Structure 1
Amino acid sequence: PLSRLADLKPGSTLLLGLPSDQPVELLTGGRDGAVVAEGQIGRKGNRMALRISRRTALLR
């Protein structure tokens, strides 16, 4: 529920409910936006990263 998002603080963990190897979609303009890319969430050093595996025509 949305109320859980309001309780998030730095360091909180947000479980996405997806397998770690399932791709995620990068959208423009929020939830109803166009899909511009697909990729895998991971880490680069101590930072979160998104490795792009597929780009749509919007990024070409």
Structure 2
Amino acid sequence: MAAIKGRKDSKGYVLRTGESQRNDGRYCYAYSDRNRVRHYIYAKTLPELRAREKELQIK
């Protein structure tokens, strides 16, 4: 059997760690801050979600 190369969304795109696709089609990114409090970011498209992730890393 071939090894799984990661999770994919409904369009076949590979999702990164923390990313998921909801049943309604929106994308979600989950992360924890320094105090280990869970936060979520939502977006309609995967490129929009990844842009928001990038903004978080810059801060």
The normalised TM-score by structure 2 is: 0.31
Q: Which has the higher strand share?
A: 1
Larger radius of gyration: 1
The normalised TM-score by structure 1 is: 0.31
